[in-house]
Amino acid sequence: MSLDLLHKTANAIMPLPATEWEALAACWTPVKFKRKEIITPTGEIEKYLYFVVKGVQRVFSLDGEKETTLIFSYTGSFSGIMDSFQLQKPSPWYLEALTHSEMLRLNFADFVRLTDEYPLLQKWVRIGSVAALSGVLERYNELIAFTAEQKFRKLLTRSPHVLQLIPHKYLASYLGIDPATFSKLLSTVKL
């Protein structure tokens, strides 16, 4: 079941021929994390690329007492500290399981071997990375150019399911607004 979901997500990035898919699928191992468990602490090198089978995770920074949520991942998406993983440098961020999470993970050595042996997997990674970068740039623009209400509306248009999945304080942090403003928007904005 979990490999079927991974296969569907992988093919949405770029359809993979059977040979490449079988090589890729063979390298993922299942792993579980408890609610609120830190998967990758700041300062450590990300050892794995994750695929979320079940649950919700977040990437966040911590500056003194202030947490800032950067990214969420949930069922059917890839997760991890991608720059730390691909560059093998210490992570400036935390990866945390917000809920009980069941994931698949691919270690860095297998990732390198697969992308070296299968040029189509290199292309698959490149296309997926560029798509992720495009999303990050779009989000960055929203953070600096949109009002609180525009950010809220954009989130609900793009991902309406997050209101039921993710605690509102983390959504407020993700949008760069305070929790009181988020609560007000939640009660007044209608889509």
Within this chain, do residues 82 and 133 fall inside the same structural domain, yes or no? yes
Within this chain, do residues 111 and 91 fall inside the same structural domain, yes or no? yes
Within this chain, do residues 115 and 125 fall inside the same structural domain, yes or no? yes
Instruction: Report the number of distinct structural domains present in the chain.
Output: 2
User: Residue 139 belongs to what domain range?
Assistant: 2-144
Within this chain, do residues 140 and 162 fall inside the same structural domain, yes or no? no
Within this chain, do residues 80 and 135 fall inside the same structural domain, yes or no? yes
The pLDDT of residue 24 is 97
CATH number at residue 12: 2.60.120.10
The predicted-structure confidence for 84-132, as pLDDT tens digits, reads as follows: 999 999 999 999 999 999 999 999 999 999 999 999 999 999 999 999 9
Count of CB atoms situated within 10 Å of the CB of 117: 11
Within this chain, do residues 57 and 125 fall inside the same structural domain, yes or no? yes
The pLDDT of residue 161 is 87
Within this chain, do residues 190 and 134 fall inside the same structural domain, yes or no? no
Residue by residue, pLDDT tens for the chain (191 residues) are: 689 999 999 999 999 999 999 999 999 999 999 999 999 999 999 999 999 999 999 999 999 889 999 999 999 999 999 999 999 999 999 999 999 999 999 999 999 999 999 999 999 999 999 999 999 999 999 999 999 999 999 999 988 888 988 999 999 999 999 999 999 999 998 76
- Stated pTM of the model: 0.92
Within this chain, do residues 136 and 151 fall inside the same structural domain, yes or no? no
Within this chain, do residues 180 and 139 fall inside the same structural domain, yes or no? no
What does the angle CA 107 – CA 109 – CA 112 come to, to the nearest 5 degrees?
110
Within this chain, do residues 51 and 92 fall inside the same structural domain, yes or no? yes
Within this chain, do residues 101 and 157 fall inside the same structural domain, yes or no? no
The pLDDT of residue 1 is 67
The pLDDT of residue 191 is 67
Q: What is the DSSP string of the chain?
A: -HHHHHHHHHHHHS---HHHHHHHHTT-EEEEE-TT-EEE-TTSBP-EEEEEEE-EEEEEEEETTEEEEEEEEETTSEES-HHHHHHT-B-SSEEEESS-EEEEEEEHHHHHHHHHH-HHHHHHHHHHHHHHHHHHHHHHHHHHHS-HHHHHHHHHHH-TTHHHHS-HHHHHHHHT--HHHHHHHHHH---
Within this chain, do residues 54 and 129 fall inside the same structural domain, yes or no? yes
End residue of a domain, out of 110, 125, 144: 144
